[in-house]
């Protein structure tokens, strides 16, 4: 691969500075995997996902002050938002990976800290395909719900992806410092709408809008203690916690505490106490009430993930065999991103370590091409900050710099060949022609199109009629087109012009059907970058007509990954 030198921050990456276990020390390798927790946060836009991501980093002492402050005019960008578009709009439109060490105050001081790999996901439904890629790389998910709005469409869709992939889900009901629904109503909604039994580990003391603290429930649902929070200015610092027993809690917050105790007992009577086997089987979901903005309940989220979320385990390859964590090195690329470092204009391929030990500089094999691949420049990313990785273990997320041959779904390995299943694409629903405003910028335009296509920002379609100068972009949501325009201007100095196309559907077809389909009104056939032939159709009624009149033509639905 082509590489460029990259600056190396003074700080080292957590969990990667110790000497790597040798290939023979399977016990040490298994121990490293056991320490890891790799998860994603999924939510509807505006549920507070990026704020929670930042609050988790604050509690892990990776940052000294939260960047989210009250009021849109004064809002700072969160540590995981690096694109100018994200900072301007206050939403995440790309996935990023943060790694940090965390040690619960309740653990033995002699124990090693856990290594947290938090993969932040886009905060808008237009980027659900990027979120799906992230969910192929994690072992658990935090489902973040707005206390006032409850379950929303994007949350429901992403939960179905988790269920489909067998990913255990921890539910966090956020914004409890603001007026919202009653806690029991929210639990009923979760149970009724997604068929998941909520099993609260912590129950709120005080109604939504009057968040005083959390009742910690025992295995039998009994009240163990009262964790009372104290607000800090703007929620910029970790909220102080006061631990009270039941008698002290009743004396401090009498009626509110008694209501919380009664509701907790009601949950036990309904069978809503935590069961670890049912959680891992995807039948139940531990629930925590929190306010990410005020940093209330954030430590409890981290403690829950460390205690209950699964460590990295086996991954099934294309042959149906399990690749266990102690097998020789293997990894899956789930995300390719460029433009994160404007000083170097480099390209990062994020890979999830599946098995074995990764050591910087090792030569691995690229399963899709069979060619050797060197890994001289490997990094972990924390917002815009980077740290060079010397070694990494199963569950870790590592960025390979300028790995131009890699694409989402690719496999890297050592020793005997292994290849993991590819990551399917969502069926696009929006289509637009892309052109450079200036013919003099055509070379830069082509480079930009190739790069954004390889990253999976959009799918690029071409045919002979339109030519290379006018490729067609296919996307799940129209905001993806805005990202393309913004990045082409920022990274390639190319002003792009877009023209929407009157198509709503894409169907897979073949060469035998291509000629006849191109004769049909409201249909146009394109070749995607991976060689697949796609027929774009104006609407479902046109599709039904063609299928009825020409049943011999191939018009297959694309893979629906969210089903």
Query: pLDDT for 304-314, tens place per residue?
Result: 999 999 999 99
pLDDT computed for residue 97 by the predictor: 75
Length of the chain: 563
The angle that helices 128-135 and 153-165 make with each other, rounded to 10 degrees, is: 30
pLDDT computed for residue 226 by the predictor: 97
Q: Is residue 233 located within the same domain as residue 293?
A: yes
| Phi, psi (rounded to 5 degrees) for 426 | -75, 155
Cα(422)–Cα(407) distance, integer angstroms: 10
CB 195, CB 170: distance < 8 Å? no
Point out the least confidently predicted range of 6-20, 96-110, 151-165, 351-365. 6-20
The answer to whether position 404 is within a domain reads: yes
Q: Is residue 434 located within the same domain as residue 553?
A: yes
Cα(160)–Cα(166) distance, integer angstroms: 10
Q: Is residue 232 located within the same domain as residue 346?
A: no
CB 491, CB 498: distance < 8 Å? no
Q: Is residue 327 located within the same domain as residue 396?
A: yes
pLDDT computed for residue 64 by the predictor: 62
Domain boundary among 293, 308, 323: 308
Domain boundary among 267, 283, 308: 308
pLDDT computed for residue 160 by the predictor: 80
Helical residues (DSSP H) of 98-201, grouped into ranges: 128-135, 153-165, 183-194
Share of the chain residues as helix, strand and coil, in percent rounded to the nearest 5: 30, 30, 45
pLDDT computed for residue 287 by the predictor: 98
Per-residue pLDDT averaged across 382-391, rounded? Answer: 78
pLDDT computed for residue 307 by the predictor: 94
Q: Is residue 385 located within the same domain as residue 403?
A: yes
Closest C-alpha to 120, from 171, 63, 57, 70: 57
Closest C-alpha to 134, from 484, 324, 331, 409: 409
Q: Is residue 395 located within the same domain as residue 525?
A: no
pLDDT bracket for residue 303 (50, 70, 90): very high
Point out the least confidently predicted range of 102-111, 129-138, 284-293, 334-343. 334-343
% of the chain surpassing 90 pLDDT = 55
Q: Is residue 239 located within the same domain as residue 384?
A: no
pLDDT at 363 over 50: yes
Tokens of 257: 């505490």
The answer to whether position 562 is within a domain reads: no
pLDDT bracket for residue 188 (50, 70, 90): very high
The answer to whether position 24 is within a domain reads: no
pLDDT computed for residue 209 by the predictor: 95
Cα(49)–Cα(391) distance, integer angstroms: 29
% of the chain surpassing 70 pLDDT = 85
Q: Please state the domain count of the chain.
A: 3
Tokens of 335: 């995300």
Per-residue pLDDT averaged across 29-40, rounded? Answer: 95
Q: Is residue 235 located within the same domain as residue 335?
A: no
The answer to whether position 54 is within a domain reads: yes
pLDDT computed for residue 456 by the predictor: 76
Mean pLDDT of all residues belonging to the chain? 84
pLDDT at 240 over 60: yes
pLDDT at 174 over 70: yes
pLDDT bracket for residue 2 (50, 70, 90): very low
Q: Is residue 151 located within the same domain as residue 203?
A: yes
Domain extent at residue 345: 315-413
Summarize pLDDT for 405-458 with one digit per residue, the tens: 888 899 999 999 999 998 877 778 899 999 998 889 999 999 889 888 877 788
Could you list the residues known to form a binding site, using ranges: 120-124
Per-residue pLDDT averaged across 333-338, rounded? Answer: 82
Domain with 58 in it: what CATH number?
A: 3.40.50.300
The answer to whether position 102 is within a domain reads: yes
Domain boundary among 308, 336, 363: 308
Q: Is residue 400 located within the same domain as residue 510?
A: no
Point out the least confidently predicted range of 19-23, 374-378, 397-401, 527-531. 19-23
Domain with 439 in it: what CATH number?
A: 3.30.70.3280
pLDDT computed for residue 59 by the predictor: 84
The residues, any chain, with a CB within 8 Å of residue 232's CB and separated by 6 or more, are 238, 239, 240, 294, 295
The answer to whether position 373 is within a domain reads: yes
Q: Is residue 304 located within the same domain as residue 325?
A: no
pLDDT bracket for residue 82 (50, 70, 90): very low
Distance, first Cα to last Cα, the chain: 37
Q: Is residue 346 located within the same domain as residue 232?
A: no
Cα(213)–Cα(257) distance, integer angstroms: 9
More confident residue, 427 or 128: 427
pLDDT computed for residue 300 by the predictor: 96
Could you list the residues known to form a binding site for GTP, using ranges: 120-124
The answer to whether position 79 is within a domain reads: yes
Cα 259 vs. chain centroid, distance in angstroms? 36
Closest C-alpha to 97, from 114, 76, 113, 82: 82
Point out the least confidently predicted range of 175-179, 397-401, 474-478. 474-478
Domain with 387 in it: what CATH number?
A: 2.40.30.10
The answer to whether position 418 is within a domain reads: no
pLDDT computed for residue 317 by the predictor: 95
């Amino acid at each position: 691969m082509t590489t460029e030198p990259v600056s190396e921050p003074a700080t080292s990456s957590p969990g990667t500075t110790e000497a790597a276990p040798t290939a023979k020390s399977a016990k040490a390798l298994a121990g490293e995997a056991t320490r890891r927790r790799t998860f994603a946060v999924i939510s509807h836009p505006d549920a507070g996902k990026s704020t929670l991501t930042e609050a988790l980093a604050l509690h892990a002492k990776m940052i000294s002050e939260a960047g989210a402050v009250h009021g849109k005019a004064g809002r700072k960008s969160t540590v995981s938002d690096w694109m100018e578009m994200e900072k301007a709009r206050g939403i995440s439109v790309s996935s990023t990976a943060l790694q940090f060490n965390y040690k619960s105050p309740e653990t033995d001081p002699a124990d090693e800290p856990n290594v947290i790999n938090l993969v932040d996901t886009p905060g808008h439904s237009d980027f659900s395909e990027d979120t799906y890629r992230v969910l192929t790389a994690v072992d658990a998910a935090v489902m973040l719900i707005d206390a006032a709005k409850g379950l929303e469409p994007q949350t429901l869709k992403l939960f179905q992806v988790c269920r489909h992939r067998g990913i255990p889900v921890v539910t966090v009901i956020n914004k409890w410092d603001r007026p919202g629904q009653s806690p029991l109503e929210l639990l009923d909604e979760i149970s009724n709408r997604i068929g998941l039994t909520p099993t609260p580990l912590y129950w709120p003391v005080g109604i939504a809008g009057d968040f005083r603290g959390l009742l910690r429930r025992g295995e039998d649902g009994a009240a163990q203690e009262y964790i009372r929070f104290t607000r800090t200015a703007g929620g910029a610092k970790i909220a102080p916690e006061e631990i009270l027993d039941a008698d002290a809690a009743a004396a401090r917050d009498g009626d509110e505490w008694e209501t919380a105790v009664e509701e907790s007992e009601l949950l036990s009577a309904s069978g809503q106490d935590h069961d670890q086997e049912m959680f891992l089987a995807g039948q139940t979901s531990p629930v925590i009430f929190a306010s990410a903005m005020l940093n209330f309940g954030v430590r409890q989220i981290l403690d829950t993930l460390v205690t209950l979320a699964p460590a990295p385990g086996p991954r099934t390859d294309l042959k149906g065999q399990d690749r266990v964590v102690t097998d020789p090195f293997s990894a899956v690329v789930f995300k390719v991103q460029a433009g994160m470092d404007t000083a170097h204009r480099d390209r990062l391929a994020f890979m999830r370590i599946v098995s074995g030990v990764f050591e910087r500089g090792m030569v691995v094999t690229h399963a899709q091409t069979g060619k050797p691949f060197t890994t001289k420049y490997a990094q972990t990313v924390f917002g815009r900050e980077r740290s060079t990785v010397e070694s990494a273990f199963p569950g870790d997320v590592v960025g390979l710099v300028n790995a131009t041959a890699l694409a989402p779904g690719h496999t890297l390995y050592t020793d005997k060949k292994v290849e993991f299943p590819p990551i399917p694409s969502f069926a696009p629903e929006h289509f637009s022609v892309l052109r450079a405003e200036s013919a003099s910028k055509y070379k830069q335009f082509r480079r930009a199109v190739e790069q954004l296509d390889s990253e999976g920002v959009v799918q690029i379609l071409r045919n002979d009629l339109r030519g290379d100068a006018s490729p067609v972009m296919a996307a799940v949501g129209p905001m993806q087109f805005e990202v393309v325009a913004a990045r082409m201007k920022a990274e390639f100095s190319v002003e792009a012009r877009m023209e929407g196309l009157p198509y709503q559907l894409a169907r897979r077809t073949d060469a035998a059907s291509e000629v006849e389909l191109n004769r049909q009104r409201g249909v146009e056939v394109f070749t995607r970058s991976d060689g697949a032939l796609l027929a774009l159709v104006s609407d479902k009624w046109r599709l039904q007509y063609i299928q009825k009149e020409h049943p011999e033509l191939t018009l297959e639905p694309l893979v629906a990954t969210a089903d």
